[in-house]
Structure 1
Amino acid sequence: MCWNVRGLGRRVKARAIRRFVQEKKPTILFLQESKLEVASPLLVRKMGGKILTGAVVVPVVGSVGGLITLWNQKDFVVKEEVIHSRFVAGLMEGVQGICCFINVYGPSVDADKEQFFRELSSFLEQLDCPVCLGGDFNAVLTQEEKDGGAVNPVSVNSFRDFVSQTNLIDLPFIWRSFYVV
C-alpha cells in the first residue's frame, strides 16, 4: 500500500495511519511526503503498531519530501537498504525469495524529473530480482490520471519512457479511497 500523507506533523495523521494499518493489515506500507526531519522510533511504532514492525526513514530535504517504509518483519527480513533523497529501496527476503521494494517520492518540478528517472533507472538496472516500485512519482502517464489541470507533455513522455525502458507494469488502482485528516 502507498499513501502520500502530506505531512506527519499532526498527531491525528499518525493515528489515521495506525487505524489504516489495523484495518487493512498491509505487509508493506510506503508513506511519502512525511515532511519530517526526524521520525522518532516512537512515532514509527505508533503508526505500524504490532503489524508493521520494521521501518526505514528518509528525512525531508528542505521543506519537501520525506519517506517512510514500514513492513511486517514476520514476512520480510531486510538484507540491504539503499537510501536516496527521492527513494528508499529495501532488498528483502521472504518466503518466495529475494525481492526489492522501492518507495518513491519524485520531484514536483518538471525540469528535475528527467534526471530523477535516469537515476532511478540506473539503480533498477543493477537489480537482479523481482521489484515492487511504488509511491508518488509526481508524474502521470495520461491526462486522465491528473485530478484537474493540464499536464506537461514533456513530463508525461519522460515518465512513459522511464516505465517502458525499465519494463515496469503500471498497475491500476484497486482501492481509491482517501483518508481526510
Structure 2
Amino acid sequence: MNALAWNCQGLGVALTVRNLKEECFRRKPLIVFLMETKQKAKYVRKIRRRCGFQEEWLVDPVGRSGGLAIWWAESVKVEILFSSVNIIHTRVSSSVVDTPEFISFIYGPPIEEDRKLCWQEVTRISRNVNGSWLCMGDFNDILSQSEKMGGDLRAWRKILNFRSFIAGCDLDDLGYTGARFT
C-alpha cells in the first residue's frame, strides 16, 4: 500500500498546495495524511478534490494551529474508530491491495506535556489492536540524536521516554522515504 504523510505546516500557501498536488499525482498514494493544515474543512475539501481523492476525514484546527486530514481512494475502505486533535485511529481494508488492518495517524503535539497525553492515548489504543497495525505521521520526537539537525541536542531523558513509549506499544521504526530531515 502506498501512503503519504506530510506535516504541511499550513495548506493556505499556493506553493504547498501545488507541491501536494504534484506528489499525489506522481506517487499515487491510496491514503494521504496531512498534519497542521491550519484550514477549516471547506478549504481542505476543495484541495482534496483537486488532488483527486474521493473520501476524507477532517479534524479542524484549534485557532490558528493544528488541523488533520485523511484522504483516501475509492479502492480503500476506512472506518474511523477514534479521532482527536492529534490522533485518528482507523480500521482499513481493500479488495485491491494489501493494507494493514489498523492505521493510526498521529501528529505528536510540540509541547512535551501534551505529547505525554498523546502517547498515553496511543498506548491505550495499542492494547485494543488485534491484527496488523501501522502508525504514521509526525511524532514530534526522536529515537536518537542522529535524527536531529541543528540546535541543541535533545535531552536523553526525552529520547529514552520516546523509546520506552515505542517499545511499550510494540512498535518498530520502518523508516521513511524522502528528504533526510522531514
Report the TM-score when normalising by structure 2: 0.86
3-state secondary structure, aligned to 2:41: coil
> Deviations along 1:48-105, whole A, 9 cap, x unmatched?
31xx32211111123322111112221x112334211101122122234771122111
Distance change (3 Å), C-alpha of 1:178 and 1:10:
farther
The runs of 5 or more residues in structure 1 that have no matched partner are none
CA contact (8 A) 1:67 1:103 kept: no
Q: Which residue number corresponds to residue 28 of structure 1?
A: 31
> Deviations along 1:102-129, whole A, 9 cap, x unmatched?
2111111122222221111102211222
Q: Aligned residues: percent identity?
A: 26
Distance change (3 Å), C-alpha of 1:39 and 1:168:
farther
C-alpha deviation, 1:12, in angstroms: 2.9
CA contact (8 A) 2:31 2:71 kept: yes
CA contact (8 A) 1:113 1:155 kept: no
The ranges of structure 1 where at least 4 consecutive aligned residues each deviate by more than 4 angstroms after the TM superposition are none
Letter paired with 2:89: A
Q: What's the Cα RMSD here?
A: 2.1
Q: Select which of 47, 52, 55 maps to 1:43.
A: 47
Distance change (3 Å), C-alpha of 1:70 and 1:178:
farther
The runs of 5 or more residues in structure 2 that have no matched partner are none
Q: Which residue number corresponds to residue 159 of structure 2?
A: 156
Q: Select which of 107, 132, 142 maps to 2:134.
A: 132
Q: How many pairs were matched up?
A: 175
Report the TM-score when normalising by structure 1: 0.86
C-alpha deviation, 1:177, in angstroms: 6.9
CA distance in 2, matches of 1:25, 1:37: 25
C-alpha deviation, 1:19, in angstroms: 0.9
3-state secondary structure, aligned to 2:150: coil
CA distance in 2, matches of 1:105, 1:156: 17
